[in-house]
Amino acid sequence: MKKWLNLLLGYAVIQVTGAFPERFLNLCAQNRCAFWRLRWLDSNTLQVRVYLADLTQLEELAQRAGCTLEVLARRGGTAQAQRLSKRWGFMVGMVLCVLTVSVLSRFVLVVEVVGNEEVPSAVILTELERLGVHPGVYAPSISQKEVANEALTNLPELAFMAINVYGTRVVVQVEEAQRKPELLDESTPADIVAAADGIIEDIQTSAGEPLFVDGDIVARGEVLISGTIPLYEQNIEKPYAGDLVVHATGTVTARTWRTLEERLPLTVPTKVYNGEEETSYQFNLLGWELDFFEKSSIFPDGYDKITNTESLELGGYTWPVSWTTTTYRGYTVQEQTVDPQQGETLLQQLLQQRLERLLEVGEGEILHQDFVTRVEGDTLVVSLVAECREQIGRTVERPGSTGHVEPEAQIGEES
């Protein structure tokens, strides 16, 4: 421990020469000047280590003892600092380095989102960037509560947000809101209407008056389950008691036939690359961009722009340091003929995707399908005819309110 303390305070190796060097040691003891590692070179010369802080006083004591004092070496922290103080370039560089680290440590380098499962982190980070929280921003300038409150207003999927700043890292803690179940609006009248032509296979009614039975053929737009239910009494003098208007609910499963069509020109303009290629580079640090070539931000006509950005990833985080390479590839536009077989395959895939999207709403299934291909002039036409089974009932609301409608009120409305 004493060794490290001596190194920290700094010490000097001195050589004392005189007729009576022991008198010098006695004076050091009387004036409480510490020394250690005493070595006698001969009867008139000794070497010893002393603290740098006592060096001036020891020179006076050597003169009083009739001896000469020579400093052989200076070691330790204080001595090193004295030597470095004469190297102005190094000192200025060290000061600038300390200042740079101190300044950069006040800027945000990483923004991390934790606690989210369904809401993508990219959505939250985009909203925070719009509010001024992003890599490169001055950390003390972030109004944590205000930003969190405004972000929650714009992101209804979140129920809680807290922004915590830890040096150069910002941790955004979020909690997602629980989805409320959709409640049936029973106060608004509604009918169940056919979304497609078909043959009814099964009709299930929870509320309302079914207007068709299994096996009936229906057309798109027809009311399948009416929200108006006629009421009748057993009284002979007044058999009709008005209508009960409800929000109709139910399902109607039917066999349907879907016909879809897609077209593709057999001659299309195509890019043909001519081999001309130019590359530019851009360095990004904390949002500051440095372009190495003028064309790094220019999009010339007749060129494709291909951008590749590589960010610094360290410690599991993506840091706000990136290197962007932009490549421009020259091309000319030429008319080329499409291979009919490849075009037919492409159109069939598009039709298949369209049909599957249509059936997603009614949770339907494809029973049978056929493709028909023909050529009309310079256009390839592919049609899809599919037999399906799906739920074709769709809820269509109408003006008014639910409840009992008296016959007199009904007649007055009709007049």
Query: How many domains, the chain?
Result: 4
One domain for residues 349 and 412: yes
What integer pLDDT is reported at residue 411 of this predicted model?
A: 44
One domain for residues 75 and 224: no
Low-confidence ranges of the chain (pLDDT < 50): 296, 409-415
What integer pLDDT is reported at residue 84 of this predicted model?
A: 54
One domain for residues 163 and 292: no
One domain for residues 298 and 247: no
- Write down which residue in 83, 102, 136 finishes a domain: 83
CB neighbours of residue 246 within 10 Å? 20
One domain for residues 359 and 230: yes
One domain for residues 114 and 125: yes
> Does the residue 99 lie in any domain?
no
One domain for residues 370 and 253: yes
One domain for residues 250 and 363: yes
> Does the residue 184 lie in any domain?
no
Residue 332 belongs to domain spanning: 268-337
What integer pLDDT is reported at residue 262 of this predicted model?
A: 93
Q: What is the largest CA-CA distance in the chain?
A: 150
One domain for residues 200 and 344: yes
By CB neighbour count within 10 A (0-12 exposed, 13-18 middle, 19+ buried), where does 211 fall? middle
SS3 185: coil
CB-based burial, 251-285: b 16+ in 10 Å, e otherwise: bbbbbbebebebebeeeeeeeeeeeeeeebebebe
One domain for residues 145 and 212: no
> Does the residue 89 lie in any domain?
no
Residue with tokens 């009814």: 200
One domain for residues 284 and 273: yes
What integer pLDDT is reported at residue 405 of this predicted model?
A: 77
Extended beta strands in 95-168, E state: 110-114, 158-166
CB 144 within 8 A of CB 163: yes
SS3 189: coil
One domain for residues 344 and 413: yes
Q: Which residues touch 294 (CB under 8 Å, ≥6 apart)?
A: 280
> Does the residue 98 lie in any domain?
no
Residues in the chain: 415
CB 16 within 8 A of CB 48: yes
What integer pLDDT is reported at residue 410 of this predicted model?
A: 46
CB 250 within 8 A of CB 194: no
> Does the residue 219 lie in any domain?
yes
